[in-house]
Amino acid sequence: MIQSYEEQLAANVYFDRSFKLETAKLLPGEYYVTDRNMMLVTVLGSCVAACVRDPRHGIGGMNHFMLPDSAGDGASPVSNSARYGTYAMEILINQLIKLGARREALEAKVFGGGNVLRGLTIANVGQRNADFVLEFLAAEQIPVRGRDLVGEWPRKVHYFPADGRVLMKKLQPPMHNDTIYVREVEYRSRLVTAKVAGVVELYA
């Protein structure tokens, strides 16, 4: 089979000593779901993260993604580049449902979409990502209980799926280092080069 670009389960899980909680740290292109009392952490530049949970069952998760570069087709959830975002959202929600979450009970908080990737060809990367995630959630009738989107800042998000709490810190530029920037540019180039289409041959 041809390998397409795949969303990855966050690999970095550790015990956070200050919060005294098992914690998963998400990098661009990753997601994590849990039905335990955990903390999910990510740092966002122009990417967005959707924190989605079923409050009745304490099952929740987070993703971290951006739309691939695709000039002129906007943030409509059915455009070419947004098809990837729809896929990133679907992976997260499917995994929540597999853990026992009920589709109609889901609620979301969304963060990111900052205008931090300066110098790239498309100036409104963050805005497109933010528009996409809001349009997707509206179309799927998943209520948005909290948001902090666009603006000039990178953000660090701590999400507690068990009770839905979020602690968010806006990171003030200039940054001490360029890690977020480097990771996003690297993720972005992976999305562009990966074949965003998958086929499997059942019959030769």
Partner 1 sequence: MTDPKLRFLVVDDFSTMRRIVRNLLKELSYTDVDEAEDGVMALQKLKAEKFDFVVSDWNMPNMTGIELLKSIRSDDGLKHLPVLMVTAEAKKENIIEAAQCGASGYVVKPFTAATLSEKLTKIFQNIERAGVRP
| CB nearer partner 1, residue 90 or residue 152 | 90
| Residue 1 vs 71, nearer CB to partner 1 | 1
91 near partner 1, rule: CB under 8 A = yes
Is residue 115 a contact partner of residue 127, using CB atoms and an 8 Å limit?
Answer: yes
Q: How many CA atoms lie within 13 A of 50 on its CB side?
A: 31
How many residues are given for the chain? 204
Of 180, 178, 195, nearest to 68 by C-alpha is 195
Cβ-based nearer residue to partner 1, 23 or 63? 63
For the question of residue 47 being annotated catalytic, the response is yes
Residues in the interface with partner 1 (CB under 8 A) total 30
The one catalytic residue in 47, 89, 110, 150 is 47
Q: Does 200 bind partner 1 (CB under 8 A)?
A: yes
Where b means 16+ CB within 10 Å and e means fewer, 153-163 reads bbbbbbbbbbe
Judged by CB under 8 A, the residue of 31, 111, 136, 160 near partner 1 is 136
User: What is the C-alpha to C-alpha distance for residues 158 and 199, in angstroms, rounded to an integer?
Assistant: 36
- Chain residues binding partner 1 by CB under 8 A are 1, 4-6, 77-78, 80, 83-84, 86-87, 89-91, 93-94, 97-98, 102-103, 136, 139-140, 196-200, 202-203
